[in-house]
Amino acid sequence: MDNNTRQRLLIVDDHRTNLLLLDKLFSEEYEVTTFLKPVEALYRFSSESYDLVISDFTMPEMDGIELLKEIKQIDPYVPFIMISANNDKENVHAAYQAGVEHYVFKPLNISALVNTVKSLINS
């Protein structure tokens, strides 16, 4: 990859405040695209390539697991990070069964999230 091309992150969360925080956190280093609606994010993912996806677990229309499964059908190798306030073991297990690379609990540990993104995107 040349120095003019930044790696691309797709971030999906139905709360605008969370999207703004994550966009601000990553936009200096990465090209960030954010969506409030997972269906719109999936549509964009089907037509453009991304280096990593970050998604909330609980969203209307389509939850994070459904989005994960759909995205992995399009690109089984794209790293996917799930964020959730719900630490229900069944949800965590379902996410890993569907192919998530990392499951992060809220409240977010920002430095850990940044390190996880860097690790996944550079591996």
The tally of domains found in the chain comes to 1
The per-residue DSSP string of 93-105 comes to: HHHHHHT-SEEEE
Provide the pLDDT confidence category of residue 4 given band limits of 50, 70 and 90: low
Residue 19 has pLDDT above 70, yes or no: yes
Residue 81 has pLDDT above 90, yes or no: yes
pLDDT value at position 1?
46
pLDDT value at position 87?
85
Specify if 1 maps to a domain: no
Specify if 2 maps to a domain: no
Residue 53's contacts (CB-CB under 8 Å, 6 or more residues apart) are 9, 10, 11, 12, 45, 71, 78, 79, 80, 81
Structural element, H or E, at residue 38: helix 38-47
Give the E-state strand segments of the chain in sequence order: 8-12, 31-35, 52-56, 80-84, 102-105
Q: Which amino acid is at 46?
A: S
Specify if 3 maps to a domain: no
Average pLDDT over residues 29-47: 97
pLDDT in tens, 58-71: 999 999 999 999 99
Domain CATH code at residue 56: 3.40.50.2300
The per-residue pLDDT of the chain, averaged, comes to 94
What is the reported pTM?
Answer: 0.95
Residue 70's domain comprises 8-121
Closest to 85 (Cα-Cα) out of 40, 18, 20: 18
pLDDT value at position 11?
98
d(C-alpha 105, C-alpha 123), whole Å:
22
